[in-house]
Structure 1
C-alpha cells in the first residue's frame, strides 16, 4: 500500500488501524525505562575512550549483549512475552552495561566530587548540547524514514527492518575505526603534533574506504545465502533481498561517514558537526516526506543513501576549507618541524 502526498491527512487513522501500533507502543514504553542507563553508559564509554581504554567498554557491551540474547530466548520463546519480553531483555542488558562501566570507572576517577569547576561544566554542557542536537537530527531523520516504510504495510516493514539492521550493524563495524582515529587524533592535536594529526586523518580515511569496499563485496555475495537467518516468510525475504544492492552499495559511503564523525570529535569540531547534521537531516527528512512516498521502499533506501552521501560531502568539504580547528591541523608549523 502506497500513500501519496495527498493522503497524509489520513495518517492518524492509518496509525490507529495498523496492526503494528500496539506492539510498537508496548516495546517503546518499556524500552524507555532504559534511557538513564543508556545515557550513563555512553558517557562512561566516552571517558574510557579518553583514557584510550577500549577494552573495558568492549567487555561490558559483550556481557550486556550476551545477557540480552539469553533473556530474549527465555522471555520471548519460553515465557511467551513476545515484543514485551524483547524490550525487557534490552532494558536489563542496558543497565548491566552501565553498571559494569561505572564500577570500573570508579576505580580510575572520583565520580562524585565536592569541587565543581563552573567553567569546565559550561564547556561540557555546550559541547554536549551541540552533540545532542546532532543526535536528535539523526534520530528524527531515521524515525521519519521508518514511518514512511510503516505505511507500506507489515510485510514491507519487516523486510526493510532486516535490511536496516544489517546496514547499521556493518556500518558500526567501521565505527571502531572512528573511535581509534578520534583518540589518536585528539592526542596528536592536544600535543600540537599537527604533522602526525594529518597522517592520522589520511590513514583513517584510507582504511575506512578499504573496509567499506570490502564489506560491500562480502554483503553482496553473502547476504542472499544468510537471509534465511532473519525470517522464514518468503515475502519478507523477497523484500529483504531486493534491498541487498542498496545495503551493499552504501557501505563505502557509510564507512567514510563514520570515520569523519570520529575526526570531528578528535579536534572538538562539535559546532560544525552539529550544524551540518541538522541541515542534512532537514533536507533528507523533507525528501522522505515529499518524494519518497511516491516510490515506496526503493525511495526510502535511496533517501538513506542520500543521507549518508551528504554527510560525507559535508565532512570532505570541511577538511578542504581548513577552517576552525582544522586550521591548526593543516598549518605548516608544528612540533615536528
Structure 2
C-alpha cells in the first residue's frame, strides 16, 4: 500500500469500531442466505429422495444464475458510499435507485430465459428421469423470485453504501423465518409438495424485496431523491458492473475447474473436495464480512476527499484480515475432529480429506488479505483492475490445476494449486494498493 501516516491508538480504535459495526451484521446476513436452501432441503428431504435430488439440481442452477449478478451489490455499495462521503445523500439514494431498477430489468430477463429452457437446463445438469420432473417444477416456480432476489442484492448494496448493515441482517433473519414457516405450511399443511417449497421461497424473497424497497423509498422521500427510472443512470450502473461481472465469472471458473479436476481424481477425492468447499464457503463468509465493511468505509473516505483516511483504513483492515485468517486457520485445525465426522464416516474419504484440510488452514491468512484488498478496491470503484487481475489469476491457475492428475497428484496437490491461486490474487491486489492508483477522490470515480 502507499504509505499512510503512523496510526494513533485513537484512530485505530475508531477504525476498529467502524469495521466491527459494519462487519458483524454483514456476517449475520451472509450466513442467513444459504440457510434458505438448507431449510428447503430439510423440508423437501422428507418427501423422498427424487424430490430432494430435484431440489438440489434446481437450487444449484438458481444460485448460479443469481450469483453472477453479485456486482449489483458490490458496485452499488461503492457508488453510494462515495456520494455519502461527499455529503450528498439525495444523490446517493438516486444512485442506489438506478442499481435497483437495473436489478429489476435483469431479473425479468433471466425469468424470460429460465422459464422456457428449464427442461433443457435440468437435462444438461444430468438429472435422472425420476428427479428431473421435480427439478423442472422447482426451477420454473422459483424463477419468479429471481427479480426479487436481484432487487434484494441491489438494495443491500444501497444500505451498505449508506453504512447500514443492520437492516440487511434484520431483513435476512425475517426472510429466513418466513421461508421456514411458508415451506412447512405449503409443503405439508396444504400438501403442495415440492411446488409448495418453491412458492414459499418465492413469497419470502418477494417479502424481503418489499421490505428493502420500503426502507429505500422512505429514505428517498426524506432526502428528495427521485424514484423514477433514469436511462442514463441505469446504463452507468450496468457499465460499472461489467468488470465485476468478469471478475465473478473468472472466480467461478476457478472453482468449477477445481471441482472438475477433483472429480477426475476419484470418487473419494470429489467427496472430500466437496466437504472442503463447504468449509471454505463458511470461512469465506467471515472474511467477506470484513470486505463488505471495506467497500463501505473506503468508498465513504474517497467520496469525502480523504485519501489519508482511506489509506489508514485500508492498512487497518489488512491487519484485521490477517488476524481473522490466523484465527480461522487455527479453528480449522482444532475443530477437525468435530467437523469431519459430520460429513463422512468413510475412512478413505477422511484420509484424503485431512492433509488437504490442513493446506486450507495454512492458507487462511492469505485469504484474509485477499478478501480485504478485494473489498478495498471494490469500494474504490477499481473494477477494471479487479477484472484484469482475476483473469490473470485464472490463466495461471487453470493449466497448473489441470496438470495435477497428469502428474499423479492428489487432492492435496490440487489444494496447493488453490493456495497458489490465492497467492497470485494477493500479489496482484497488493501491487495495486501499493501503487496508490486506486485512490481517486470525489463523489464519482
Fold similarity call, TM over 0.5: yes
Contact 1:71 1:89 in 2 (8 A): yes
Q: Given the alignment, which residue of 379, 388, 394 partners 1:281?
A: 394
Instruction: State the partner residue of 2:415.
Output: 301
The 1:328–1:103 alpha-carbon spacing in structure 2 relative to 1, beyond 3 Å, is: closer
Offset, 1:169: 0.9
SS at match of 2:219: coil
Offset, 1:243: 2.5
Question: What 5-or-longer segments of structure 1 have no aligned partner?
Answer: 1-19, 330-337
The 1:188–1:108 alpha-carbon spacing in structure 2 relative to 1, beyond 3 Å, is: same
State the distance in 2 between where 1:71 and 1:302 align.
43
Instruction: State the partner residue of 1:193.
Output: 306
Larger CA deviation: 275-284 vs 230-239: 230-239
Offset, 1:231: 3.2
Contact 1:149 1:300 in 2 (8 A): yes
Contact 1:27 1:87 in 2 (8 A): no
Contact 2:404 2:410 in 1 (8 A): no
Instruction: State the partner residue of 1:184.
Output: 297
2:22 equivalent to 1:22? no
Larger CA deviation: 63-72 vs 169-178: 63-72
State the distance in 2 between where 1:315 and 1:125 align.
24
Q: Deviations over 1:170-200 (max 9, x none)?
A: 1220211111122111111111112211110
Contact 1:224 1:241 in 2 (8 A): no
Q: Deviations over 1:268-289 (max 9, x none)?
A: 1111011111221232123222
Contact 2:172 2:208 in 1 (8 A): yes
State the distance in 2 between where 1:199 and 1:283 align.
32
State the distance in 1 between where 2:326 and 2:146 align.
35
Contact 1:155 1:235 in 2 (8 A): yes
Offset, 1:123: 2.5
Offset, 1:121: 3.1
Contact 1:215 1:248 in 2 (8 A): yes
The aligned length equals 306
The 1:246–1:191 alpha-carbon spacing in structure 2 relative to 1, beyond 3 Å, is: same
Question: What 5-or-longer segments of structure 2 have no aligned partner?
Answer: 1-124
Contact 1:149 1:297 in 2 (8 A): yes
The 1:211–1:86 alpha-carbon spacing in structure 2 relative to 1, beyond 3 Å, is: farther
2:424 equivalent to 1:310? yes
Q: Given the alignment, which residue of 338, 342, 354 partners 1:229?
A: 342
State the distance in 1 between where 2:397 and 2:288 align.
22
Larger CA deviation: 104-113 vs 236-245: 104-113
Offset, 1:211: 0.9
Q: TM-score, normalised by structure 2?
A: 0.59
Instruction: State the partner residue of 2:370.
Output: 257
Q: TM-score, normalised by structure 1?
A: 0.76
State the distance in 1 between where 2:413 and 2:218 align.
50
